[in-house]
Structure 1
Amino acid sequence: MTDFVSRSADLPTGSRFPWIADGFALGGDYSPEQWPESVWIEDIALMRQAGVNSLNVGVFSWGLLETADGVFDWGWLDRIMDLLADARIGVNLATPTAAPPIWLLQAHPEIAPVTQHGVRHAQGGRLGWHPSSAVFRRYALRMVEALATRYAAHPALKLWHVSNELGNENAHSYDDETGRAWQVWLEHKFGSIDALNDAWGSAFWGHHYTSFDQLQPPRFTSTSHNPALLLDFERFTSDALLGHYQAEREVLRRITPGIPVTTNFMVQNHPNGLDYDRWASEVDLVANDHYTMGADPETYGELAFSADRVRGMSGGDPWLLIEHSTSAVNWQPRNRAKAVGELARNSLAHIARGADGALFFQWRQSTAGSEQFHSSVVPHAGADTKIFREVTALGATLRNIREVVGSRVQTSQLAILFDYDAAMALRSGAKPSVDVNSLDVALTMHRELTARGIQVDIVHPATDLSGYRAVLAPTLFLLTEADAARLTAYVAGGGHLVVTSFSGIVTEHNRVIEGGYPGALRDLLGVRVEEFFPLFAGDTVTVTGEITAGPWTGSVWSELLQTTDQPDGSAAAVVARYADGELAGLPAITLRSVGAGTAQYVSTHLDRPATGALLELLIERAGITPVAPADRGLELVRRVAVAPEGATEAASWLFAINHSAGPLRLDTSGLDLVTGERFAPGASVAAGAVAVIREDPSA
């Protein structure tokens, strides 16, 4: 069994916890309270058949455990915990605070969130509480204390799972109690009301404050709110929810100091209002929920992007995929079922990118409730189904590759910068185009790199970048002076940087940097943007120049920019210009040499072929190599064992995932742990297959 090193800075140095499962974790959310106890025995038999070793239990069970104020009924949970311990299935026991019981909601309706329009949420959903509620906090911590005390020594307990998807339904509340908490938060941040007025530019529209008690949450108004106010409310909300997690965590640590604590993040194709880069240092292991979007014809591309983001938050440490789906979900407009083999490819893609487990929501498909048509391991049709057979096969594969547990993804040669704070700033207030967001350009770049077998790290701008040959900064709207200085030093040290439009625009207070865009990076890039020229839906621009070898297509955005002379006498070269439209003949893409490094600027959203071509030039300029020689489209990631001290070479495992309808060639040699057969250079990975190759030394 592998030891897990806690990531929380406030735990004693060297604190170690047992990993939650023997080998890779496989299983998911289990809700035995939804079923007669006669079904439990069948469930456990099927779990053993499928290779399940890890379950999330009790996530929404508060009302069944505390049936009235201070009245606890532990019987059913005692019995299932004992049964799972006997079956050697580990439990990630949830604090059930995501679902306050009906008796609590009716006794204290003031705990529920309030909308911007002043409407308080009614009972009937989940996460029906706001994080600033002192009443809710008191009841929640009493529940956590009772749960932890009862099961502290239970042999099935492996991990604490705090609440569920914090912020998913209660990310914002505009009630008076939240307003008072926000005032305290603002006073702590700014120190004086004059400092707040200065930072926010509150003279605009006469929004001048003379005391902190005049501040209100951004409730509904007939016009838009100050972008700085909106950004700080997002930050406050993240901190308030984190504060609730921390409060539950401290109760758990006090009672069960040897059990790791986490909560499930939601790192997907949309950034929510939580700063997970900050949250990651507060959990003992990073755990993530991820669900593919059926309308996306390339769901595996967004999956890979999100998994790389999670690994970046985890600092490269193994993390846990604590929720994903076996097939269709129930909350998208049209809920697509997964094709044969897609379940395994999705799960193993997360494993390849650093997860040491893949758990599903949920074990048995509910027959009642709002998620009754959400897929599960055991569907309504029972165990004699495609889904259950595929999960069982996945269990066998995870046993075959269990030697990979505890290894780390090899550090990449290229990094993409992503910052939740910048994403929150971008959506806080009106912007020149509703079509610009923090993810689209980054995801397009990641997909093109992945198609070329290039492994990517996705990291915060404050990360040490010195080990990367190239760094991409796509739509990094907010950039602090310190992070801008870090990028400047990176390029001066020989790194190769690519910055795309609408980056470096505002300070940490969401105030525009004067002097021309992109203010924070203007001198490094050697460009000055005078004016934005957003494009209407469906409109495109053509870009041509010495680097294009033919026309490239851009959309969404264009800019009136010029190159500028720098104090050292250098200037950025114009390597492509707009060939049509209002900016015809003007610069579109520039490249500036800085010592041994380069800084490139791209002023439009290039389409997929043009993005790929631009990245090909970067790959050549920076000397970046693929994970292994292979046909285009084969997803490649290498995990590497932590080498013993004094060892000259560590074991490595190459994950090769073929999402295509035909075989793809790969040049490496070793043992494919999935099939048990030797893999020779030039052999192919079959259509829809996954190979996990223990590479021959110096392969």
Structure 2
Amino acid sequence: MARIQYENTTPFWCTEFTTMTAVPGSIRKSAYASLILGNQLVCGWTWQTMHAGEEQFLQGMVDWDGRPNRKLDEYRRIADEFAKLQGRGFPYRPRPEIAVALDFPSQIASAVLPERHDAQAQTAFEAVIDRNLDARLVDLARSELGYKLLLIPGVLVLDEAAAFRIRAFVERGGTAITTSNSATLDADGQAFATTRPGRLDDVFGIRVSSYEETAMLNELAHGRTGRKRLDLEFDGRAIAAATPRFDVVEPVTADVLARAAGLDGDRPLITANRYGAGRAVYIALPARREVLDPLLESEITRLGIDLGPSVPLGVMARAVDDRHVLYLNLDAEPKSIVVQGKATGVLRETRYDGGFTLGAFDAEVVELG
């Protein structure tokens, strides 16, 4: 959905929603997850399993002989529950303060690299979404970048328009976090002959030279072959992350936030540079949750980004408006949800006092007060 929506603010319609061999309960779970991303409509594809053509083996809600199957029952339940949500703040309109860059030319060009751009973008997007924060995918060359935090995960191809917008974003006070492989090629697919990151080296305050193979340096340092683990310390915590390669970074005006441990020489892995009113952070390896998570935690606090609802790990949640909160359990075990004071469960049609238990893969919309 996010890849289709980009920065479109109108409610989304899922017109070809899941049927086929969807695991029992997963259609409902996906339907509520889609509401959190700003969806307004769920339409199952297909209704009647077809009798001919290229999709005749795509199972719908009604079998070949016209008899309904379990998926129709699940859609009935979704329809009944969605009717209860009328007038309770839906469709949800995301209010993102964080953006993740997604670039089609970089997806194509990065196919030859060990780490594709779109894989890095997915990792970065999930790192935000898992914190129950809204995020937008953005086209760097076209977006006004009206956000506090911008993630640039391995955007290999960087044209002049995109570079201009990134520079302006940081200069006016935004924070940009960039990972390895970024700003390596120009709009013609040619490697920059100037200092990398191309067109932005002064913004990030570094020179990116070549890259190193992690396994080779580990063999040199430890006598271990095939070990792709990098050890580093960031913000007082030890971090280990696996990567086939990492960039060789030379700080110019940037401060070093983390270095590789246990390798030969000085190997800066995370740097931060003040540029204008903002901050530009460079991570010398591809997007990894082990590194992104503590860095995001630090930057979200520093930037004063509004946090999502406080919930157990594995629960998606959004405050739809001032009175309604949607909770969705993505895991196979029950989760305890804390609610301040008394509230009404819209889906279960029951009253809660201080909290409730959310069953495996279950959803609830709570009306506060």
Q: CA deviation at 1:397?
A: 1.4
Residues 383-441 of structure 1: CA deviation (Å, up to 9, x unaligned): 453222111111111211133687452311211121224334444xxx4x2x2212222
3-state SS of paired residue (1:402): coil
- Residue 192 (structure 2) pairs with residue 498 (structure 1): no
Matches within 5 A, 1:512-591: 512-534=191-213, 539-547=227-235, 549-564=237-252, 571-580=253-262, 585-591=266-272
In the alignment, which residue of structure 1 is the partner of 2:30? Answer: 346
In the alignment, which residue of structure 2 is the partner of 1:631? Answer: 312
3-state SS of paired residue (2:117): coil
TM-score, with structure 2 as normaliser: 0.86
In the alignment, which residue of structure 1 is the partner of 2:3? Answer: 309
In the alignment, which residue of structure 2 is the partner of 1:359? Answer: 43
CA contact (8 A) 1:352 1:638 kept: no
CA distance in 2, matches of 1:609, 1:667: 30
CA distance 1:505–1:681, change in 2 (3 Å): farther
Structure 2 gap segments, 5+ residues each: 216-224
- Residue 177 (structure 2) pairs with residue 488 (structure 1): no
TM-score, with structure 1 as normaliser: 0.47
Residues 221-266 of structure 1: CA deviation (Å, up to 9, x unaligned): xxxxxxxxxxxxxxxxxxxxxxxxxxxxxxxxxxxxxxxxxxxxxx
Higher relative contact order structure (alpha carbons within 8 Å, sequence separation ≥ 6): 2
- Residue 348 (structure 2) pairs with residue 662 (structure 1): no
Amino acid at match of 1:559: D
Residues 466-524 of structure 1: CA deviation (Å, up to 9, x unaligned): 3x221111111122223222222222222221111111222222222222321132111
> Which of the residues 127, 137, 145 maps onto 1:458?
137
Q: CA deviation at 1:689?
A: 0.8
> Which of the residues 76, 86, 89 maps onto 1:402?
86
Matches within 5 A, 1:261-410: 307-313=1-7, 315-328=8-21, 338-380=22-64, 383=67, 385-403=69-87, 407-410=91-94
The runs of at least 4 consecutive aligned structure 1 residues that moved more than 6 Å come to none
Q: CA deviation at 1:448?
A: 2.7
CA contact (8 A) 1:418 1:460 kept: yes
Matches within 5 A, 1:593-632: 593-605=274-286, 607-632=288-313
- Bigger proportion of residues as strand: 2
CA distance in 1, matches of 2:14, 2:244: 34
3-state SS of paired residue (1:551): strand
Amino acid at match of 1:686: G
CA contact (8 A) 1:663 1:685 kept: yes
In the alignment, which residue of structure 1 is the partner of 2:349? Answer: 676
CA contact (8 A) 2:154 2:286 kept: no
Residues 196-219 of structure 1: CA deviation (Å, up to 9, x unaligned): xxxxxxxxxxxxxxxxxxxxxxxx
CA contact (8 A) 2:234 2:258 kept: yes
CA distance 1:458–1:684, change in 2 (3 Å): farther
In the alignment, which residue of structure 1 is the partner of 2:158? Answer: 479
Q: CA deviation at 1:679?
A: 4.9
Q: CA deviation at 1:546?
A: 4.2
CA distance in 2, matches of 1:381, 1:539: 56
- Bigger proportion of residues as helix: 1
CA distance in 2, matches of 1:436, 1:572: 25
Q: CA deviation at 1:443?
A: 1.5
CA contact (8 A) 1:672 1:679 kept: yes
Residues 621-668 of structure 1: CA deviation (Å, up to 9, x unaligned): 22223221222221123445xxxxxxxxxx664322111122142446
3-state SS of paired residue (2:161): helix
In the alignment, which residue of structure 1 is the partner of 2:362? Answer: 689
CA distance 1:418–1:538, change in 2 (3 Å): farther
Aligned alpha-carbon RMSD (Å): 2.8
Amino acid at match of 1:448: A
CA distance in 1, matches of 2:19, 2:81: 16
In the alignment, which residue of structure 2 is the partner of 1:255? Answer: none
Q: CA deviation at 1:578?
A: 2.0
3-state SS of paired residue (1:345): helix
CA distance in 2, matches of 1:354, 1:308: 9
Q: CA deviation at 1:580?
A: 4.3
CA contact (8 A) 1:635 1:656 kept: yes
Structure 1 gap segments, 5+ residues each: 1-306, 329-337, 565-570, 641-650
- The percentage of counterpart residues that share the same residue type is 21
CA distance 1:575–1:634, change in 2 (3 Å): same
